[in-house]
Each structure stands twice: as structure tokens, then as C-alpha cells.
Homo-oligomer: A and B are copies of this chain.
Amino acid sequence: MLQRPEHQVAGHEAGSGTLGPLIDGSGNFYKPLNPSDERGAHELAFYTSFYSDTQVPQSIRSSFFPSFGGTRILPVPDSPDLLLPHLVLGDLLHAYSYPCVMDVKMGARTWYPSASEKDFAKYWKKDLESTTPLLGFRISGLQVHHESGRWKPYRDKVRKYTVTDVRQSLRQFVSKNPDKTPPDCALASSVYGGSNGILAQLLQLKSWFEDQTLFHFYSTSLLIAYDKGGKAAQVKLIDFAHVMKGEGIIDHNFLGGLCSFIKWVSEILTDSDPEAAAGPAEPEATVGPTENETH
């Protein structure tokens, strides 16, 4: 009954010799806790703390985080003799027939102050190769359904996404013809817009981040998802292996990236609205003669 999630767009995949998440088809998502990797223990500690902290509003928990049902011992696929504890989480895509999914890793940096020098170097190198420092986020993966099937760019392509690619992907994600240039953004108003759309949810999340000083979410992703046709758009936070205590300070690293992401989503909405599109032209700023922000 346990199987690999078909619509995973980023992160480790379960396979021969590799640990990865499983789903049971009944709404549960199992994430293995590798005993040789402290990240699993750290993520478990986060979920336990987060779900018992009375300072977290219930609406935030239920709107923006996977449900958490403790841990469960399960056999590892391809190694059924090997039993491992797994986090029991809600399967965010359970109710979807044709899930369109995007994984957006948040923050202008993914390293955290207490990282070892080695870890710092590893994370920072990855950051610099991505749009992370420039945009305050990077796309880690996506899949879109259209007329004829499912489109999912290769991981090594996504890893090299430039700012232009990010803009393009955010448009493709809400297009019925994601493989055309330019994509039609036909679903922008139903997925990104509206009172229950992605943008409205992002703004609600932003309000919480402007206030909360409990947690700093390093290397955490936004999972943006909807069912083909534009139904049930949702924004969820996932991946908490590097969450730190906030200690009275807001998570300006995540929040800055969130504001940046919000601006990009807003612009697609504006551009795909014919009335707004007839407004002023794109900004073109000149600052100084000697320096340019190239990356």
C-alpha cells in the first residue's frame, strides 16, 4: 500500500539505496528519519515544538503547515528488512487529481549562523549558483499539467535557473500552454488571484512573519500547489531540518524573500489583467555609471 509520491518535485526520492518519503494513499505522507543524519531528529524536534507551542495561532498551523501525527516505524522500500521511524505528515496533494506543484526555497541565504564552516561553504556555494541572494528565493522544482500531459523540468536545469527563468516558470505554472512562448497565463487570476488564491494566502503568511519571533526558517520551502483547472490553490511550508529559535528577532531572511516572491506573483497578476497591462511601461532605472548589479 505504501508507495513513492508521484508528484514530488524536489528533495530526496525513495529508491534503491536512497531514503525518501512514502505515501499511503489515505492522506498520510511518511518522511524517513535517518538515524545517521541529525537533520531528521531536528525536523522531528521542530514539529513537536511547533505543534505544542500555544503562541502559534491555530489558523497559521492549519493553513500553512502540514498536519503532524508523530512518528511511525515502517519498512524501507527495496530493503524491507530495514525498519526506520518516519515522520507522519499530511499528504498535501492527497485530494488532487492533477496536481500542479512548485517548490520555492525561501531566503536570501540558506545557511544558518550556527552552521559549521564546512556546511556554510556548501550552502553558500549552492546559494551563489542560484537566484537565492539576488531574489531572496529560488525555485527548487515544479510540475505543471496541461492538455496533453505533465511537464516537469529536469532537476539539473532547475538548479541553473536564472532570474529570467524564474519569471518564466511563474508564468508557465499558471498557463494552459506552458511550452509556448509566451505562455498564456490563462489560470493566473484563478490560481494566483481571488480571495482564496495564492497571493491572498501569501499575504496572510507575510502578516504572521512580520510579527513572529519564535522560529527562523532556514532552507525551508514554500510548496505552491493547485489542481489542474485552478481549484484548491494552497501555500504550505515544508522542510524544517534547519529551523532555529527566533530568540525575539523576526525571520527577516525568510520575510524579505517572501516579500520579493509576493511582488513577482503580483506582477504576473497585473500583467495578465488587460486593463492593468495598458498602464505605464516597465520601470527602467539608471543609477550610476560605474557599477551594475550583475550576478
With beta carbons under 8 angstroms apart, the residue of B213, B244, B249, B257 that contacts A287 is B244
Interface size class of A (residues with CB under 8 A): 35 or more
Residue among A45, A244, A256, A259 with max Cβ neighbours from chain B (10 Å): A256
A90 CA to B65 CA, complexed, in Å: 49
Once the chains bind, are B253 and A259 in contact (CB under 8 Å)? no
**Any B CB within 8 A of the CB of A64:** no
Asked whether any CB of chain B lies closer than 8 Å to the CB of A84, the reply is no
Given A252-B256, A255-B256, A260-B252: A243 touches B287 (CB 8 Å cut-off): yes
Residues 72-89 (chain A) with a chain B CB within 8 angstroms? none
Partner of A294, one of B113, B248, B259: B113
Stretch of A3-11, A22-30, A129-137 with 4 or more beta carbons under 8 angstroms from chain B? A129-137
Q: Do B135 and A285 touch across chains, with their CB atoms under 8 A apart? A: no
For the complex formed, measure the closest distance between the CB of A194 and the CB atoms of chain B, giving whole angstroms: 20
Cβ of A282 under 8 Å from chain B: yes
Chain B hits for A114, CB < 8 A:
291-294
User: 10 tightest CB-CB pairs across the interface, nearest first?
Assistant: A256-B256, A252-B256, A45-B288, A136-B252, A244-B293, A214-B285, A252-B260, A42-B288, A250-B263, A245-B287
20 contacts between A and B (CB under 8 A): A38-B290, A41-B289, A42-B287, A45-B288, A46-B287, A53-B285, A108-B253, A112-B293, A113-B295, A114-B292, A114-B294, A136-B253, A136-B256, A163-B247, A242-B291, A247-B285, A248-B283, A252-B260, A255-B259, A256-B259
A: which residues have CB within 8 A of B? 38, 41-42, 45-46, 49, 53, 55, 108-109, 112-114, 133-136, 163, 209-211, 213-216, 242-250, 252-253, 255-257, 259-260, 262-263, 280, 282-283, 285-295
